[in-house]
Amino acid sequence: MEIVVFGAGSLGTLLGGLLATEHRVTLVGRDPHVSVVHDEGLYINGEFDRRVHPGATTDGGDLTADLVVVAVKSFDTEQAASTLSSGTFDAALSVQNGIGNEDVLEEYLDCPVLAGTATYGARLEAPGRVACTGTGTVTVGAAAGGVSPLADDVAAAFDAAGIETTAVTDMPRRLWQKLAVNAGINPITALSRVHNGALSAGSTNRLARRAATETARVARAEAIELADERAVDAIDEVIDGTANNRSSMYQDVLAGRRTEIDAINGAVVDRADEHGIDAPVNETLAALVRSWERENGGR
């Protein structure tokens, strides 16, 4: 399969590198990372020990592929979609954080858009080097839910490259469950500067669970069946399974970059307001991270 991975950050590079063991892959990202990958190849370490040689470019325009995997930060989705609209793709798959990315992609791309979740841990260590800090799973499916033969084909392509992937019919619920997990883990680890495992007990665990249950409450207002208990179980499962990982938001804070707070806790608050629901934990976490961003030039 011919695959473009648009957004060669930590997760995009890891997925693209693993896919390159079986498929023809082009990574789209920024220098100096993509230049090193183009000239010397990509080294994957941590849970894997592989060197692969995908294509790599900073120019994402006028590309053609069977599948484009979109892995940019949520605040870059519209710009990415506009760039990709000059190309030709049979399908697109978002593996981004937040909700609503698929809607933006559908506005620009003349192909079916799938939604996805990925629980692999990834960290860019240097240009041309990515660490898999924890193996996980990928789910793909129609953004609106239901059976999707296209999702079956994409899952098979990922599986062939050794990425454990399942096509699912309940993607809306899974996206909101992922949002609940991110709402609880990302801002707390970023503000506290701790690995995910630090949230396994005590006051930070209770805070993370409250953020998750608030998110589940908003999901139900959006007609998504996500019970509080399932959201809490999911956040505890991810904390336990990724105890040694730094969340993506924690990595952004360490690097002095803009975070995805608007698409995670901010999105929960925005949807809560639309339904007249209070979400004080998410509102507080969003305000604190935004304050850090303003102080550090992220806004």
The tens digit of pLDDT for each residue in 267-286 reads 999 999 999 999 999 999 99
Question: How far apart (Å, rounded) are the C-alpha atoms in residues 291 and 293?
Answer: 5
Going by pLDDT thresholds of 50, 70 and 90, the confidence category of residue 124 is very high
Amino acid identity for residue 232 in this structure: V
Strand 64-70 to 2-6 pairing: parallel
What are the pLDDT digits (tens) for 40-66?
999 999 999 999 999 999 999 999 999
pLDDT at residue 39 is higher than 80: yes
Active site residues per annotation: 178
What are the pLDDT digits (tens) for 138-153?
999 999 999 999 999 9
Of the candidates 299, 197, 195, 190, the residue with the CA atom closest to the CA atom of residue 252: 190
Provide mean pLDDT across the span 66-88: 97
- Contact indicator for 179, 261 with CB cutoff of 8 Å: no
Tokens of 266: 């901010």
Share of the chain above pLDDT 90, in %: 97
Provide mean pLDDT across the span 195-217: 97
Question: How far apart (Å, rounded) are the C-alpha atoms in residues 121 and 11?
Answer: 7
Residue 299: its pLDDT value, please?
65
In order of 38, 94, 204, 226, the CA distances from 171 in angstroms are 34, 12, 28, 12
Provide mean pLDDT across the span 34-45: 98
Identify which has the larger pLDDT, 295 or 297.
Answer: 295
Provide mean pLDDT across the span 156-180: 97
Tokens of 68: 């484009």
Beta carbons within 10 angstroms of residue 64's beta carbon: 12
pTM: 0.94
Residue 9: its pLDDT value, please?
95
Going by pLDDT thresholds of 50, 70 and 90, the confidence category of residue 176 is very high
pLDDT at residue 120 is higher than 80: yes
**Domains delineated in the chain:** 2-167 (3.40.50.720), 171-295 (1.10.1040.10)
pLDDT at residue 297 is higher than 80: no
Residue 86: its pLDDT value, please?
97
pLDDT at residue 298 is higher than 80: no
Q: Exposed, middle or buried, 126 (CB in 10 Å: 0-12/13-18/19+)?
A: exposed
